[in-house]
Amino acid sequence: MQIAEIVERRSVSPRRLSEPGPTPAQLNAIIEAACAAPDHRRLRPWRFVLIRTEAREAFADLFEAAARETHGELNSDQVKRAREKAANGACLIAVIAEIRDNIRDVPPHEQWVSVGAAVQNILLAAKSFGFGSMLVSGDKVSTRALTEGFGLAPDELLLGFVAIGTISKQPGTAERPGAKEKLSYWPKDEKQGEMMKTTTKSVEDPCCVDERTGIGGLVPVNDAISRGLSVANEVDGTEVVELDEAIGRVLAEDLVAPFPMPPFDNSAMDGYVFRSEDLSGAGPWRLRVAGRVAAGDNANEAGGVGEGEAFRIFTGAGIPKGGDAVIMQEHVRHLGNFIELDKPVIPGNCIRRSGEDAVEGSLLLPKGSPIGAREIGAIASVGLPQIKVRRKVRIALFCTGSELRQPGESLAPGQIYNSNRFILMAALRQPWIELSDMGAVVDDPDELRDVLTRAAVSADMVVTTGGVSVGEEDHMVEQLRGAAGKIEVMKIAMKPGKPLSIGTLNDAVFVGLPGNPVAAFTTWKIIGSRIAEKMSGQGTNEVPVSQVEASESFTRRPGRQEFRPAKIVGLSPEGRPQVQLLDQSFSAKISLICKSDGFAVIPADCDRIASGDRLDFVRL
């Protein structure tokens, strides 16, 4: 199970947890996952009761009685609602906790933690099979009706019910606290690895004054991102592409398993399939090899495995009728046309059950998934030769500056090569982007306005570099406004990238990156690309960060969140990469960024970093 699956798991109301529910084999696996919960002194303070499908009416009687006990007499509506709750959820499991006082070292609260962990394992195991789930409780759980109905012992308590089933309607995304809100370090001394803090009051950074407006203060990076995302809409068109063209595109609709996966019970090993009940009494047991099934054979036509018989079977071959267990060929003795086994084998051994990867109708990929090799595999495995994807985001790109020349041309004094164009063309070369490269434009206001206007006619996003700062030759913001565009954010508390400007021009989003190449690269990576990703339908993904430690101490001027090129130089005793932060002044140094492994992220209010301080790190 991937971390993203754990983070994305959401409770789904039992009303939306339809058939099919888990198969008996899946249910067993789910309960085994529950029993793997951390459990001090092996008290196993839990047990689970599956409400049988055929007993749902009787179960509804219990819910109705429980409702009467808590609310007194019920009207017909209340009766209906109480009974309906007993019918919801394809699979319902009662969670019963046995919490004991006076257990040495394991106070009741710790036993409850263990029960909670078991429940969480159930929820995650259900998710791993592609099911939705939810723990439901409420005041009814402590009623006599349910206590007696489930025959609870004096030490036992009914915690609630876990509902599991196939999600018929996906829940929305959940707002959750980030690690920054819920994780702190002890002790707070930076030597111990606490993210460093400003030790002096935030020094007034001259850069914090907006030179255009004279208004002090810069927009924090996260606010700039939120404001940028808020003006960006997902493109609404879709198209159908061949599977081998789908890599890197964005899925336009949910991919649901049209049949159970795998579609039939099959062998996980090369070996022999037989009837597990034939290995009763004392071994060794001898079975006659009476048939053969290979992958690709129709197991239904292979005949049935009779008493005392085994069929030769190979990995991926369907299980023939009668057979319910497979043994690896390494674990048997071959005696002519017979095999001999020494140990009993449990039913289901080495058998991959139909639907154990995904039950029919379960969600394989939600719409908005970026399609990588894994996703292509999932689409292919359900037999689709084509897939519906979002249309590409149309991005128009141009660089500004009268000093710019194309690589290959000769340079006159004062001129430089247009590296931004190539940095951004490379960064924008994504399968979900349709790039319109508009080259370079001189620092001429009229020409700039004209190109901006033309770019916005058919683009969803216009990306430019240069001309967003404060000099007389910086015309971008003024010309955007002149072309009836609107600026949403400018002057960001970000280093590099303070002059990054975000706005709109007609229906297009405008992202004006700074001219300095490292600043253009960084602002695109940290802010611009996220806006484009949202427009592509992939949602608003955070830039992935890992944790590193500073290898040496230094001081800095606070005021802007800094994305400082850094190089990995070693590993801390705990195995965390140690990074050396490179030059303070780097926004135009392309060779410096080529030497770095990523950006160390220094919080805006930080004015010094001690060796060993932890920092977020954006890998390049």
Would you call 82 helix, strand, or coil by DSSP? helix
Confirm or reject binding of residue 235 to ligand LQZAQKY5 (CB under 6 A). Answer: no
Angle at 285 between CA 279 and CA 287, to 5 degrees: 95
Would you call 277 helix, strand, or coil by DSSP? helix
Ramachandran angles phi, psi of 312, nearest 5°: -65, 135
Applying CB under 6 A, which of residues 14, 165, 291, 517 lies at the interface with ligand LQZAQKY5? 517
Amino acid type, 507: D
Stretch near ligand LQZAQKY5 under the rule CB under 6 A, chosen from 383-391, 512-520, 532-540, 550-558: 512-520
CB nearer to ligand MOO: give 111 or 587: 587
Confirm or reject binding of residue 561 to ligand LQZAQKY5 (CB under 6 A). Answer: no
Confirm or reject binding of residue 153 to ligand LQZAQKY5 (CB under 6 A). Answer: no
The item of ligand MOO, ligand LQZAQKY5, none sharing an interface with residue 467, based on CB under 5 to 8 Å by kind, is: ligand LQZAQKY5
Q: Give least dist CB 88 to ligand LQZAQKY5, A.
A: 57
Would you call 71 helix, strand, or coil by DSSP? helix
Three-class SS string for 325-391? Answer: EEEEHHHCEEECCEEEECCCCCCCCCEECCCCCECCCCEEECCCCECCHHHHHHHHHCCCCEEEEEC
Instruction: Please give the residue whose beta carbon sits closest to ligand MOO in the complex.
Output: 587
Q: How far apart are the first and last CA of the chain?
A: 26
Confirm or reject binding of residue 238 to ligand LQZAQKY5 (CB under 6 A). Answer: no
Say how far apart CA 539 and CA 524 lie, in whole Å. 17
DSSP 44: -
Confirm or reject binding of residue 559 to ligand LQZAQKY5 (CB under 6 A). Answer: no
Say how far apart CA 4 and CA 2 lie, in whole Å. 5
Applying CB under 6 A, which of residues 353, 498, 560, 564 lies at the interface with ligand LQZAQKY5? 498
Binding pattern for the stretch 412-441 against ligand LQZAQKY5, x by CB under 6 A and - elsewhere:
----x-xxxx--------------------
Element (DSSP H or E) covering residue 311: strand 309-313
Say how far apart CA 354 and CA 128 lie, in whole Å. 15
Q: Give least dist CB 579 to ligand MOO, A.
A: 20
Confirm or reject binding of residue 562 to ligand LQZAQKY5 (CB under 6 A). Answer: no
Binding residues among 575-604 for ligand LQZAQKY5 as defined by CB under 6 A: 587-588
Say how far apart CA 439 and CA 399 lie, in whole Å. 6
Q: Which residues bind ligand MOO (CB under 6 A)?
A: 495-498, 514, 516, 519, 587
Q: Give least dist CB 518 to ligand MOO, A.
A: 7
Confirm or reject binding of residue 470 to ligand LQZAQKY5 (CB under 6 A). Answer: yes
Applying CB under 6 A, which of residues 143, 516, 522, 578 lies at the interface with ligand LQZAQKY5? 516
Say how far apart CA 609 and CA 581 lie, in whole Å. 10
Instruction: Verify cis geometry, omega within 30 degrees of 0, for the bond prior to 514.
Output: no
Using CB under 6 A, count the residues that bind ligand LQZAQKY5: 27
Q: At a CB cut-off of 8 Å and minimum separation 6, what does 539 contact?
A: 173, 368, 533
Q: Give least dist CB 517 to ligand LQZAQKY5, A.
A: 5
Stretch near ligand LQZAQKY5 under the rule CB under 6 A, chosen from 49-57, 184-192, 305-313, 514-522: 514-522
Q: At a CB cut-off of 8 Å and minimum separation 6, what does 377 contact?
A: none
Confirm or reject binding of residue 89 to ligand LQZAQKY5 (CB under 6 A). Answer: no
Three-class SS string for 165-221? Answer: EEECCCCCCCCCCCHHHHCCCCCCCHHHCCCCCCCCCCCCCHHHECCCCCCECCEEH
> Facing residues of 578 across strands?
549, 570
Say how far apart CA 218 and CA 207 lie, in whole Å. 8
The item of ligand MOO, ligand LQZAQKY5, none sharing an interface with residue 465, based on CB under 5 to 8 Å by kind, is: ligand LQZAQKY5
The item of ligand LQZAQKY5, ligand MOO, none sharing an interface with residue 418, based on CB under 5 to 8 Å by kind, is: ligand LQZAQKY5
Nearest CA-CA partner of 296 in 312, 313, 315, 317: 317
Q: Give least dist CB 497 to ligand MOO, A.
A: 4
Would you call 245 helix, strand, or coil by DSSP? helix
CB nearer to ligand MOO: give 464 or 578: 464
Binding pattern for the stretch 389-408 against ligand LQZAQKY5, x by CB under 6 A and - elsewhere:
----------x-x-xx----
Q: Give least dist CB 203 to ligand LQZAQKY5, A.
A: 17
Give the helix ranges, DSSP H, for 460-557: 476-482, 517-523, 529-536
Amino acid type, 304: G
Confirm or reject binding of residue 468 to ligand LQZAQKY5 (CB under 6 A). Answer: yes
Say how far apart CA 620 and CA 618 lie, in whole Å. 6
Confirm or reject binding of residue 315 to ligand LQZAQKY5 (CB under 6 A). Answer: no
Applying CB under 6 A, which of residues 130, 361, 467, 603 lies at the interface with ligand LQZAQKY5? 467
Q: Can you tell me which residue has the tokens 């500056």?
A: 401
CB nearer to ligand LQZAQKY5: give 30 or 519: 519
CB nearer to ligand MOO: give 519 or 593: 519
Q: Give least dist CB 224 to ligand LQZAQKY5, A.
A: 14
CB nearer to ligand MOO: give 391 or 495: 495
Q: Give least dist CB 543 to ligand LQZAQKY5, A.
A: 20
What is the Cα gyration radius of the chain? 32
The item of ligand MOO, ligand LQZAQKY5, none sharing an interface with residue 392, based on CB under 5 to 8 Å by kind, is: none
Binding residues among 446-465 for ligand LQZAQKY5 as defined by CB under 6 A: 465
Q: Are 387 and 400 in contact (CB under 8 A)?
A: no
Element (DSSP H or E) covering residue 290: strand 285-293
Residues at the site binding ligand LQZAQKY5, with contacts judged by CB under 6 A? 211, 399, 401, 403-404, 416, 418-421, 465-470, 474, 496, 498-499, 514-517, 519, 587-588
